[in-house]
Amino acid sequence: MKAIKPSYEILTPIDGIKELQHIERIGRVCYKSEGNITEDGESAKKFVSMLIKKGHEAMIEHSSLSIKFTVDRGVSHELVRHRIASFAQESTRYCNYSNDKFGNEITTIQLLGGILEENKIINDGYKLGLIINEWEKAMEDAEHHYIKLIELGATPQIARSVLPNSTKTEITITANYREWRNFFKLRTPASAHPQMREITKPLLIELKEMLPIIFEDISIE
């Protein structure tokens, strides 16, 4: 059993100004103000900022972003609730983790980052150690039963029933900027799951740097 950290990868190349200019060209059709477009991108910054402040967010649906997440299956269950997005996810029906290709073991997502994000037992190292220890035992048990089921002739899609929520999954999400804004508003606050926040907070920080006009008004707790 291997335990790795969660991660993300922004798959869409982002040129911040070009993205804004694309939205500007589309949005100015509404106001017939194409004559105000400047090549340096300054008009695009002001225009897109105005759209977002006014709530005319339909215009930012004209740009999209694909992001690959490596998270556990619990977090991925939450990700796929976002109906406006499109998904491609590693299949536990087709992947046989007992194969050499997967190192003959299951890969899980470490629990520690989520626990630290939750911030309840951070000062009690002993308790933290016991929790991690217990979790590791559960993961090893699950792995043992998964591999045993396959040895007994079960297909991966049947053996997967004993895989834990902590099983690592890769999931690529494509969504437009409007949906990503909705996503971050729901998935970064303290009310979101700590393992979700562990990954969405650094991602939002990075996107705020790349696309400040689109994401700057979404605060991070």
Ligand X SMILES: Cc1cc2nc3c(=O)[nH]c(=O)nc-3n(C[C@H](O)[C@H](O)[C@H](O)COP(=O)(O)OP(=O)(O)OC[C@H]3O[C@@H](n4cnc5c(N)ncnc54)[C@H](O)[C@@H]3O)c2cc1C
Binding site residues, ligand X, CB under 6 A? 81-84, 179, 182, 186, 191-192
What is the nearest approach in angstroms of ligand X to the Cβ of residue 82?
3
84 or 130: CB nearest ligand X: 84
Query: Cα 192 vs. chain centroid, distance in angstroms?
Result: 13
Nearer Cβ to ligand X (54/81): 81
- Whether the CB-CB separation of 98 and 146 falls below 8 Å is answered with yes
Closest CA to 82 of 179, 6, 169, 7: 179
Minimum CB distance to ligand X, residue 174 (Å): 12
How do beta strands 86-89 and 168-176 pair?
antiparallel
Distances (CA, A) of 82 to 87, 179, 184, 205: 10, 8, 11, 21
Which two three-digit tokens encode residue 128?
A: 């933290």
Q: Which residue, 57 or 105, has its beta carbon nearer to ligand X?
A: 57
Smallest distance, ligand X to C-beta of residue 84, A: 4
DSSP state of 97: T
All residues at 6 or more sequence positions from 20 whose CB lies less than 8 Å from its CB, including other chains: 41, 44, 45, 47, 48, 211, 213, 214
Q: CB 75 → ligand X: shortest distance, Å?
A: 12
Tell the smallest beta-carbon distance from residue 89 to ligand X (Å). 16
Beta strands in 101-201 (DSSP E): 107-109, 168-176
Residue closer to ligand X, measured from CB, 149 or 192: 192
Nearer to ligand X, 142 or 199 (CB): 199
Q: How far is the CB of 22 from ligand X (least distance, A)?
A: 22
Tokens 């949906």 belong to: 179
**Among residues 87 and 102, whose Cβ is nearest to ligand X?**
87
Q: How far is the CB of 34 from ligand X (least distance, A)?
A: 29
Cβ nearer to ligand X, comparing 47 with 184: 184
Q: How many CA atoms lie within 13 A of 23 on its CB side?
A: 31
Q: Which run of H or of E encompasses 214?
A: helix 212-215
Tokens encoding 159: 């053996």
